[in-house]
């Protein structure tokens, strides 16, 4: 017999907000729907720009945030993020899954100055220029010589 859950998966995953006593404000500030322009930087110096969307909310009983970004015909990626005092002051753990490109990435995230930096060792994602209705995001990869190479940038603005 096929198991039929009494609650839809989405309803079981999504939460209305943070659980009592859980501070999710670092990424919770992005709750809602956003439009983005994604610029991808190729090794030959060329770029391409695609329009996409990004949706943020609360999940897992209000103990985490989640977000889904969508670049049509490229990727649907999902992140689950939660605060972890063991990750340092203001530290968070974050895991991103992108099935279209068959990738997963794990990060330690923390606020640094006015930015949120996610450190994945050889990958660094940064939220910057954060305002109530807009922000920027960048994806950088560490090169063999230790320098950082820009792979993607998002210019993002709030829809709801």
CATH at residue 48: 2.40.128.20
What pLDDT is stored for residue 45 in this prediction? 85
Interatomic CA distance for residues 118 and 109, integer angstroms: 4
- Whether residue 43 is contained in a domain is answered as yes
- Whether residue 107 is contained in a domain is answered as yes
What is the span of the domain harbouring residue 35?
9-17+28-158
What pLDDT is stored for residue 13 in this prediction? 86
- Whether residue 2 is contained in a domain is answered as no
- Whether residue 85 is contained in a domain is answered as yes
Q: Which residues of 52-91 are buried (b: 16+ CB within 10 A; e: fewer)?
A: bebbbbbbeebebbbbebbbeeebebbbbbbbeeebeeee
What pLDDT is stored for residue 40 in this prediction? 94
Interatomic CA distance for residues 77 and 45, integer angstroms: 25
Distance from CA of residue 48 to its chain's centroid? 21
Longest C-alpha distance within the chain, in Å? 56
Interatomic CA distance for residues 128 and 131, integer angstroms: 9
> Could you give the number of structural domains in the chain?
1
What pLDDT is stored for residue 10 in this prediction? 74
- Whether residue 90 is contained in a domain is answered as yes
Q: Which residues pair with 154 in a beta bridge?
A: 38, 137
**For each of the chain's 160 residues, which pLDDT tens digit applies?**
455 555 677 777 899 999 999 999 999 999 999 999 999 998 888 999 999 999 999 999 999 999 999 999 889 999 999 999 998 888 999 999 999 999 999 999 999 999 999 999 999 999 999 999 999 999 999 999 999 999 999 999 999 7
What pLDDT is stored for residue 25 in this prediction? 96
- Whether residue 50 is contained in a domain is answered as yes
- Whether residue 86 is contained in a domain is answered as yes
- Whether residue 3 is contained in a domain is answered as no
């Amino acid at each position: 017999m096929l198991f039929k859950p009494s609650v839809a998966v989405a309803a079981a995953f999504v939460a209305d907000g943070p659980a009592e006593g859980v501070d999710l404000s670092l990424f919770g500030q992005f709750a809602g729907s956003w439009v983005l322009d994604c610029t991808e930087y190729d090794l030959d110096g060329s770029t391409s720009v695609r329009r996409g969307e990004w949706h943020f909310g609360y999940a897992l009983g209000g103990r985490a945030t989640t977000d889904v970004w969508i670049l049509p015909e490229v990727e649907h990626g999902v992140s689950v993020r939660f605060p972890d005092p063991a990750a340092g002051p203001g530290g968070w753990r974050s895991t991103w899954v992108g099935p279209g490109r068959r990738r997963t990435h794990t990060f330690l995230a923390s606020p640094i100055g006015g930015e949120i930096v996610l450190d994945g060792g050889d990958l660094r994602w940064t939220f910057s220029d954060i305002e109530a209705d807009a922000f920027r995001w960048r994806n950088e990869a560490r090169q063999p010589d230790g320098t950082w190479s820009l792979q993607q940038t998002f210019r993002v603005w709030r829809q709801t």
